Amino acid sequence: MTAMAIEKMTPERRRERTRTALIEAARQVFVRRGFSGASLDEIAETAGFTRGAIYKNFADKEELFLAVFDQINERVLNAFAQMLEQGVSAAFDAHALAKMWAKLIADTDLLTLELEFRLYEIRNPSARERADAQRRKNRELVTRFIEGNTAALGITLKLPADTVAGILLSTSDGFAHASQVDQKEVALYEAFLELIIPAIFTEAPTPE
């Protein structure tokens, strides 16, 4: 019988696990309490650590909050990447893409939390600078995602990848927040995708 390999717990790996646990706990507490109502003590307790563990990984509550959305963005892109592994047809399937979008992005709790933080940004210029930097980083991440996946699938972009990323992010935000008031917006987002996908992507011709 072959013994199972045991992963060596290096200081870097331990810190990464701690950081991940803190982000997961922060997401729970932020959703439950809101950004302003959430305390670092409750987040640390939920994660099973002391408050000091937070300060070893994050400068303050703002940085921890933005890390929560960084993790969400990463998971969303990973989910869409898995979907696109099905082939080029998946990139043009507006119904499947809208269904995935509704599942991953149109989350009422997280959207409410994002709106709350936007108000906090307005009142706190330093937080606005951090959030703007995070949004730029996310747009760059989506741009690279588009470039990599279109190249792999043989799809031609009709617009620069950065422009496409900006369009998709802005419209996604708009439809997601509208869906909090009316769930019919999810169907409208599918209709939007049916219009926009052919406008920005061209499928490579099949070799004869």
Segment 60-99, tens digit of pLDDT: 999 999 999 999 999 999 999 999 999 999 999 999 999 9
Tokens linked to 104: 């991953």
Domains of the chain, start order:
11-58 (1.10.10.60), 66-203 (1.10.357.10)
N residues, the chain: 208
Average pLDDT over residues 7-35: 89
Q: Which of 78, 160, 117 is nearest to 168 (CA)?
A: 160
Structural contact between residues 156 and 150, judged by C-beta atoms closer than 8 angstroms: yes
Q: To the nearest whole percent, how much of the chain has pLDDT over 90?
A: 74
What is the rounded CA–CA span in Å between residue 131 and residue 118?
Answer: 9
